[in-house]
Amino acid sequence: MPDQNPDQNNNDYPSNLTPLYVLGEFGLIDRLTSDIKLYHKETLKGVGDDAAVIDAGEKVMLLSTDLLVEGIHFDMVYTPLKHLGYKAAVVNISDIAAMNGIPKQLTVSVAASSRFSVEALDELYRGIKLACERYKVDLVGGDTSSSNKGLIISVSILGEAEKEEVVYRSGARPNDLICVSGDLGSAYMGLLLLEREKKVFQVNPDMQPELEGFDYQVGRQLKPEARTDIRETLKKLGIKPTSMIDISDGLASETLHLCKQSGTGCRLYEDKIPINPETRELSMEFKIIPSVAALSGGEDYELLFTVSQNDYEKIKGAEGISIIGHMTDASEGKAMVTADNKEIALTAQGWDGMKNDEPGRL
Ligand SMILES: [Mg+2]
């Protein structure tokens, strides 16, 4: 899950030490995990995909974990605890869906400061249990602790897949079609709307939040769903994706992950990116290019995947799935073709041409 409020302003570092923000999240993961030794032949895939893959005889087990920290990943001012519990479970379930697996069991660990009551944690668990019911996942353990400040939630999940059905990030080949489920950018616009109304409320507590007409966007931010249905949809169409990832950090970042792990380049087409009409309207109101909300926003928890060109006839009419581009040879680079037919290098922040001032502002 992307950080909504990274603290990059700590200037008190001794000169021989490196502040965390210098490496960034992915740089830090690379550094901490580059020399990990694996001791068991059952560990088929360690760090580097949506979930680890472990040989379990006829099937494989999938294992993933996620951490949510108050003030970084969520804001208690506008996040109901029940929604938060639901989301904490869903973001993990989504990682299993991204491996083309079936989520089965999860554990929940919570650290809460004295600001939180027993009833508050009841509410958090009500949300977690609701997600477990909706996705048929068993809550099988966890840990609780107090925290000096705020609320911290860590969820780990186990999933299962047939050996030949697991989909990695690394399987895409040049000319494969890049597809995405649902629509993108709504969760981010929901977040901006909630942040705006929070500011209004802080200035004048008598003001009621103006969220009307944007239930979908606010819902996508506070109570996302995992696309566990896509596995079945693709199976019925007779398609096995060549690579797959879930969209937690934004379309651009996730596409770059698939390219990096598969050793390909890509072309995305801006006018093919599925964006909800109200999300488009809301982006314009916030003076943000709608495709930037999709490319850089994140937290949509849709699935981004590639399929072979040979499957074009099977996938082209599939409801709720959009073909948004194709993989290329690595030498052709990673780019998006804009609506006015310009090629722009794809970067994790959206695209290079937007570096000046605030990214993606109109
Ligand atoms: Mg993921």
Give the model confidence (pLDDT) of 3-39 as tens digits: 554 455 556 678 888 888 888 888 888 889 989 999 9
Phi/psi region, residue 181 (left: phi>0; alpha: psi -120 to 50; beta: rest), is: beta
How does pLDDT run across 239-297, given as a tens digit for each residue?
Answer: 999 999 999 999 999 999 999 999 999 999 999 999 999 999 999 999 999 999 999 99
Quote the ligand 1 centre to 1 CA distance (angstroms): 8
Determine the angle formed by the axes of helices 277-285 and 186-203, rounding to 10 degrees.
Answer: 40
> In the prediction, which pLDDT does 352 show?
41
Quote the ligand 1 centre to 224 CA distance (angstroms): 14
CATH 3.90.650.10 location in the chain: 169-354
Quote the ligand 1 centre to 298 CA distance (angstroms): 11
> In the prediction, which pLDDT does 167 show?
98
Quote the ligand 1 centre to 225 CA distance (angstroms): 13
The percentage of residues in the chain with a pLDDT greater than 90, rounded to a whole number, is: 79
Q: Is the pLDDT of residue 179 over 50?
A: yes
Give the length of the chain: 362
How does pLDDT run across 125-138, given as a tens digit for each residue?
Answer: 999 999 999 999 99
Q: Is the pTM of this model over 0.85?
A: yes
Topology of domain 169-354 in CATH is: Phosphoribosyl-aminoimidazole Synthetase; Chain A, domain 2 (3.90.650)
Rounded CA gap, 83 and 12, in Å? 37
Confidence of residue 353 (pLDDT cuts 50, 70, 90): very low
Quote the ligand 1 centre to 212 CA distance (angstroms): 31
Quote the ligand 1 centre to 93 CA distance (angstroms): 9
CATH number assigned to the domain covering 20-33+42-165 = 3.30.1330.10
> In the prediction, which pLDDT does 9 show?
53
> In the prediction, which pLDDT does 355 show?
40
Determine the angle formed by the axes of helices 215-222 and 277-285, rounding to 10 degrees.
Answer: 90
> In the prediction, which pLDDT does 351 show?
44
Tokens of 175: 């000319």
Quote the ligand 1 centre to 257 CA distance (angstroms): 10
CATH 3.30.1330.10 location in the chain: 20-33+42-165
